[in-house]
Amino acid sequence: MNKSEVRALSWAILLLPVLVGAFRLSAADASEQLIAGAKKEGDEIVFVAGAQTFGGRKGLAEIEAAFNKKFGLKARINFAAGPDMNARAARLITEVKANRQSSSDLYLGSQSHFALLHKENALEKVNWAGTFSWLSKEMEIFPGEGVLVYTSPNGIIYNANLIPKDKAPKSYSDLVDPRLSPTWAGKLAIPPYVAWLADLSLVWGQEKAKDFARKVVALSGGRLRYSEEERVVSGEFPIMANLGDALGAMWTWQAKGASLVAVPGLNPINTDYFQLGVPRNSAHPNLAKLLVAFMASKEAQAVLQKYESRSSHLVEGTIMAKYLRENRVQVQEPKVSIDYYLKGESAEGLKFKEELANILKQ
């Protein structure tokens, strides 16, 4: 290294603390501006979502109190139960295109919904990680648009009172393994949805996913929707091939004394990433941005765990972060499914899903 390079390196080392300090000051300024703007927007945040979202009214009351304490506000979360995430995304897009005020100041959805909103440019662009100290770039599943609130790995669930441990599946492939499958043949519950089988093709490819679908349908004893895991707990079905929030269901039911066990079907496991974003036509954009960021804080995550057994794997100390670390389970990289959703449905993809739908009807 010559003298000029040494001099340049020395200056860089000297300036580093100054630059870091300037960045922190800039982030603090940005958050203070949001707080000041929020105080001018009134005292109401409109949030339309599923009836039990974030613990329903009880959970949201705790979130509201902690949110106001953190930012020195007196805001009220005006919560209204609404349609499913697909319908809410469609409504938001319609409102944006019509230049109408959004019916909800926040939107909650998974990466499939955010891909659609991203295509329609329906969400505010925010430097989340650069504004709030507890957020990281990794938490921005859709950079600048969505902040991860809770992580939902898919998986198998079974009743441990009915499936012996030595016969229990450890993966999706085990479900159709002739050495194990006699234990649940004719009694296996499967979801009536095409999506969970289509998602397996991201790892396995289409042919293996179709072969698995044929075998698992042949072993099935009925169909269960994702809200009906209680029928596994009750023993009506000893096992279910897939549940969208398998770990959350396990923790919820085990807390009630049930012997429900969840098994990641893959590693890395196919995962839904539920995020919050702010519509471009939000009536209270500053309040909404603060609440989005708050929901990824340790305070808010504690409330989610209390009422829903859900949390983000990227927030230190959460039940999800601990489980993945202790069990050495990896979640699927968001980019894998995001790329899939952003590409949209090709003729080949539509044909594949039609084939899966026909298999499920058998």
Q: Which domain holds residue 43?
A: 3-143+276-310
pLDDT for the residue numbered 20: 38
89 and 21 within one domain? yes
Confidence check: pLDDT of 191 > 60 = yes
Cα angle for residues 29, 34, 40 (degrees, 5° grid): 130
> By C-alpha distance, which of 294, 297, 332, 290 is closest to 314?
297
Residue 12 pLDDT: 45
Domain co-membership, 252 together with 282: no
Predicted local distance difference test score (pLDDT) of residue 349: 87
pLDDT band, very low/low/confident/very high, at 19 (cuts 50, 70, 90) = very low
Assess if residue 148 is contained within a domain: no
Residues 232 and 138 reside in one and the same domain: no
Q: Do 116 and 198 share a domain, yes or no? A: no
Whether 188 is covered by a domain: the verdict is: yes
Instruction: State the pLDDT at residue 251.
Output: 98
pLDDT band at 5 (very low <50, low <70, confident <90, very high): low
Rounded to an integer, the average pLDDT of 3-19 is 48
**Domain contains 286:** yes
Question: Is position 324 within any domain?
Answer: no
Question: Is there a contact between 260 and 240 (Cβ–Cβ < 8 Å)?
Answer: no
Least confident of 20-24, 127-131, 173-177, 353-357: 20-24
Model confidence band, residue 29 (pLDDT cutoffs 50, 70, 90): confident
**Could you tell me where the DSSP H helices lie in 220-316?**
230-233, 246-254, 285-294, 298-308
Q: How far is CA 41 from the centre of its chain?
A: 29
If pLDDT is split at 50, 70 and 90, which confidence band does 362 have?
Answer: confident
**287 shares a domain with 346:** no
- Provide the pLDDT confidence category of residue 28 given band limits of 50, 70 and 90: confident
Nearest to 269 by CA among 213, 329, 353: 329
Residue 147 in tokens: 């902040």
Q: Quick one: pLDDT at residue 15?
A: 45
Residue 14 has pLDDT above 70, yes or no: no
Structure-model confidence comparison of residues 2 and 240, the more confident one: 240
Binned at pLDDT 50, 70 and 90, residue 291 comes out as very high
Say whether both 159 and 302 belong to one domain: no
Q: Examine the domain organization and report whether 118 and 27 are in the same domain.
A: yes
For residues 12 and 115, membership in a common domain is answered with yes
Domain assignment of residue 235, yes or no = yes
For residue 149, being part of any structural domain is answered with no
CATH code (residue 75) = 3.40.190.10
Residues 305 and 336 in one domain: no
- Which is more confident, 349 or 163? 163
> What is the DSSP-derived secondary structure letter of residue 170?
S
Residues 114 and 23 in one domain: yes
Domain annotation covers residue 177: yes
User: How high is the pLDDT of residue 155?
Assistant: 98
Same domain, 284 and 264: no
d(CA 332, CA 272): 9
- For residue 103, with 0-12 CB atoms within 10 Å meaning exposed, 13-18 middle and 19 or more buried, which class applies? middle
Does pLDDT of 124 surpass 90? yes
Sort strands 188-190 and 239-243 into parallel, antiparallel or unpaired. Answer: parallel
> Per-residue confidence at 21, pLDDT binned at 50, 70, 90?
very low
The answer to whether the CB of 221 falls within 8 A of the CB of 189 is yes
pLDDT score of 24: 45
Q: Examine residue 171 and state whether it is found in any structural domain, yes or no.
A: yes
Q: Do 57 and 98 sit in the same domain of this protein?
A: yes
Q: What is the pLDDT of residue 27?
A: 63
Q: What are phi and psi of 304, to 5 degrees?
A: -60, -45
Count of domains observed in the chain: 2
- The closest of 101, 117, 107, 127 to 41, measured between CA atoms, is 101
Q: Are 217 and 362 in contact (CB under 8 A)?
A: yes
Mean pLDDT of the chain: 92
Place of tokens 């982030």: 27
